[in-house]
Amino acid sequence: MSELNLVLLGPPGSGKGTQGERLNDDLRLPYYATGDILRGAVRDETELGKSAKAFMDAGDLVPDEVIVGVIAERIDSEEARDGFILDGFPRTTPQAEALDAKLAELGREVTTVLLIDVSDDEVVRRLGGRRTCEAEGHVYHVEFNPPKQEGVCDIDGSPLIVRDDDKPEVIRKRLATYHEKTEPLVSYYDGKGILRRVDGARDPAEVTEELRGILDAARS
């Protein structure tokens, strides 16, 4: 089976996290979600967390130089030798270029980019109802994917919270940031012939099936 260096692309709330967790179960590749990594760093009050917190709370991106090193280190690790799944990185053209440069150093490249496409209206509806597990970042939705017991994570029993950046005014800011900074990556990867676009406004199980089909074909 060939190496799979996978990037998940899409607006906030497109389901990258949910799909990433499922693909992670299937593919058994390390899954690096920069939002989760940064929230963990904020929680642990590390240097990384301290430099990221104000940007995150405002719905802005953290500076490229803060995040690029975090991902470069993981990609270079033994566990990522056969591939990896990136969720939330790259988010700017300089980040995409830095990723390409790091992989080129290792004689590798991004093999597949999955764009999960969802409209702005749908994003606002979804993120407004999103609840996140305080301990591990497992994701639920009050309407579409409720936990068995309200306010409690099914997986680890910790409380479910509304992330600061899932508050309505911050959601709008994050969407604007996505269109301005991250959407140019669609043509960046399309130009390399490795972008696959899926309609993310469907039942999550259908989206998962389509993604699995694309990845099976890409890996065989």
The residues binding ligand AMP (CB under 6 A) are: 12, 34-35, 38, 55-56, 59-62, 67, 88-89, 91, 95, 165, 174
| Catalytic residue chosen out of the listed positions 126, 130, 131, 196 | 130
End-to-end CA gap in the chain? 6
Pairing of strands 139-141, 130-133: antiparallel
Q: In the annotation, is 81 catalytic?
A: no
Residues making up the chain, counted from first to last: 220
**Residue with the CB atom nearest ligand AMP in the bound state:** 35
Rounded distance between C-alpha atoms, residue 202 and residue 192, angstroms: 27
Q: In the annotation, is 16 catalytic?
A: yes
Select 112 or 177, whichever has its Cβ closest to ligand AMP.
Answer: 177
| Catalytic residue chosen out of the listed positions 91, 126, 131, 196 | 91
| Catalytic residue chosen out of the listed positions 39, 126, 131, 174 | 174
Select 6 or 62, whichever has its Cβ closest to ligand AMP.
Answer: 62
Rounded distance between C-alpha atoms, residue 8 and residue 196, angstroms: 10
CB of 208: closest distance to ligand AMP in angstroms? 19
CB of 90: closest distance to ligand AMP in angstroms? 6
CB of 105: closest distance to ligand AMP in angstroms? 19
Question: Which among 119, 108, 127, 106 is positioned nearest to 35, based on CA atoms?
Answer: 127
Strand extents, DSSP E, 56-145: 83-87, 112-117, 130-133, 139-141
Select 83 or 166, whichever has its Cβ closest to ligand AMP.
Answer: 166
Using CB atoms within 10 Å of the CB of residue 53, give its burial: 0 to 12 exposed, 13 to 18 middle, 19+ buried.
middle
Give, in degrees to the nearest 5, the angle at Cα 85 between 122 and 50. 80
| Catalytic residue chosen out of the listed positions 16, 39, 126, 196 | 16
Q: In the annotation, is 91 catalytic?
A: yes
CB of 58: closest distance to ligand AMP in angstroms? 8
> What are the residue numbers of the active site?
16, 91, 130, 163, 174
